[in-house]
Amino acid sequence: METTRIPSSSSQPCRQRPGFACEECRKRKVGCDRKRPQCGKCADAGVKCVVDSNRLARGPKKGGLKTLQNRIVALERRLSLETVEHPLFGDPDTPVTDETLSASTSPLSEDANSKFPSSCEQMMFWDNELRLKIPPSTPGLASLPLFPCQFPPSPPLPPECRLIDELMASDLNQVYFDRVHPNVPIFNKSRYFSWSQQLAISNGPNHMVCLQYAMWTLAMAHSSQFESCRDRLYGETRRMLEDLDFAQNDMGIVQIEQVQAWLLIAFYEFARTNYRRGWVSAGRAFRLVQLARLHEVDSPENMIEGEDPVLTEEKRKTFWVAYCLDRFIGIRRRWQLTLVEDVIFTRLPSPELSFQAGHPTQMCFLSQAMGARSQSTLSPLAECSILVTICENVLSHHEQSMIEGTFGSMPSDVQFWLRHDWLSGMLSKSLESLDVNYPGMAGVTDPLLLFTSMMAHSVVIYLCQIMEASGMQSYYGPTVDGFQNRAMIAAREIARLARAHEHIGYFKAHIFLPVVVFLGASRLISHRTTWTDGSKAFGVTPDSQGHQYGMESCVEAELQSCKNTLRKLQSSNNLARGHLHVLESENFTSDYVQVFI
């Protein structure tokens, strides 16, 4: 029997010649004989033969299989948990609480929404319909090796399952830069739109997706048209950020986008959820700021040669927004600050126009601005940073005077007045700088600048409260009376600026505007309840009872202006709702206000 001999693979000629084909043959899609220094085709054509030996390896990208397995695990988990008709909305009977950070939202009214569903709801419903058609167990998945210990519990949402369509994304970007960015000016618009367009085309890094979702979430908090899907997007964004934290183990790598995303989520939570949750999220952002060493952006050891100056300025602005937020929280509750002033090696933020033009101006350091307060024009964020630093020093002055009074270490009269006069002088210089550089504050259209001016007046009130609490009124009556007059003028100025804010729009208001308005209103209430015939609240003595009645009416009108501002803000800001409730409570007295904000 004749046997057929199968030739070995080594005896057959190789289909592909060894070496790389030249670029000309690859371009013309013809076979290259790979002769060197010039192949036959290039020699016949009389062209230069170029060979690129540094080519990317063929096959799937590194980590692609792991990403696919990660998505399969997430899909199986979601399919196994779907027990209701519309799983993306969650269980209608389960409310969103402080302990629940799931993606569930409150049930929507069928009568109000069944006929005219929003774009977000349509996407959710279609996604749900597609999911229900997928069988609960996909053949072949069981054979894939699963490594649950290597994956976070809930991987970031794949781009194809996003909750925001292209039209909504465009609207939210516009809302963000119109209403949020003026108070949180940390992005260069050109740079943002450049990478966001790339993100829409291809799968971008997780930290970029998280930042974009955080921006859209905060934009929804400043608009009334996205109420139906705001909580859902917030829950998804928060989950993605937590998964990102869970997946990172390297202490030396922190993406600036991750820091920015946590800051934006903290602002959202202060306005739309509760103070405790916002405080915890802000703490995470502050730790990431420290980990990224944003407080040392301009330190010679940390400067990156050849880094884009726009990116460097974004780092500066991100740090100063975090710095201000740290002071807003710490001063209000007398909590320990995280970002300490003494170790800052980051310049003050550049003016917005030069930053957006791509040529940020190099500014001075905070210590230089505090030491020699000139009349040079600073950006609103820089002015705000200086004022919150003064607030921090005022708080330290208050705490030190309380310790001296408690423990009887009273070298204090001289030291108290030295500190008090220095802080009062710094505050007067800041107010003068604002008046010179930004005259006609009521006509200003920048909400951060308006908030900064109101905050400066609120520090005047706080200094007066410290003096009243010191027990020195019997010894320094005229001096205390002078500060009380200044505090009353400051409270009236806060009421005037609060009315002026209505022309800008309350959706553009700073998240912490309600606490400044509350302090001005509390001072007006204190003045109203302690009114006497010889009132010196305005620096004048009434000549008649009719004049006095007119002054009382004026104070009452300004108090109502503050309350009206809080009423208009309460629909989009929980801080306004809480402070308005306190002001309108029957047992409210001026003694309630123990701290600055």
Q: What is the pLDDT of residue 414?
A: 76
The three-state secondary structure class of 139 is coil
Closest of 295, 591, 594, 596 to residue 423, by C-alpha: 596
φ, ψ for residue 136 (rounded to 5)? -60, -25
Bond into 37 cis (ω within 30): yes
CA 300, 305, 309, 314 dihedral sign is negative
Q: What is the pLDDT of residue 543?
A: 52
Please write down the long-range contacts of 12-17, taking CB distance under 8 Å and 24 or more positions apart: none
Indicate the DSSP class of residue 21: P
* C-beta neighbour count of 66 within 10 angstroms: 12
Indicate the DSSP class of residue 588: -
- Rounded distance, CA 431 to CA 535, Å? 26
Q: What is the pLDDT of residue 115?
A: 39
- Rounded distance, CA 505 to CA 391, Å? 27
- Rounded distance, CA 421 to CA 253, Å? 45
> CA-CA distances (angstroms) from residue 474 to 470, 478, 479, 483?
10, 9, 10, 14
- Rounded distance, CA 456 to CA 430, Å? 8
Kindly list the structural domains of the chain, giving each domain's residue range(s) and its CATH number in brackets, ordered by start: 17-51 (4.10.240.10), 64-107+117-139+153-292 (no CATH), 440-592 (no CATH)
CA 279, 282, 286, 291 dihedral sign is positive
Q: Which residues of 262-285 are buried (b: 16+ CB within 10 A; e: fewer)?
A: bbbbbbbbbbbbeeebbbebbbbb
Q: Which two tokens stand for residue 459?
A: 């520090």
Q: What is the pLDDT of residue 257?
A: 95
Query: pTM to 2 decimals?
Result: 0.71
pLDDT per residue, tens digit, the chain (597 aa), is 444 444 444 455 555 677 888 988 988 888 898 888 899 889 888 888 998 887 766 666 666 777 787 788 778 766 765 533 343 334 434 444 444 444 443 433 334 444 334 444 444 444 444 444 444 443 343 333 433 334 344 444 444 345 788 899 999 999 999 999 999 999 999 999 999 888 876 666 789 999 999 999 999 999 988 988 999 999 999 999 999 988 877 776 789 999 999 999 999 999 999 999 999 999 999 999 999 999 999 998 888 888 899 999 999 999 999 999 999 998 777 778 899 998 999 999 999 999 999 999 999 999 999 877 665 789 999 999 999 999 999 888 888 887 777 776 554 677 888 888 899 999 998 888 888 888 876 567 899 999 999 999 999 998 988 888 777 665 666 777 888 889 999 999 999 999 999 889 899 999 999 999 999 999 998 887 766 444 444 444 545 455 555 567 788 899 999 999 999 999 999 999 999 999 988 667 655 554 444
457 close to 493: Cβ distance less than 8 angstroms: yes
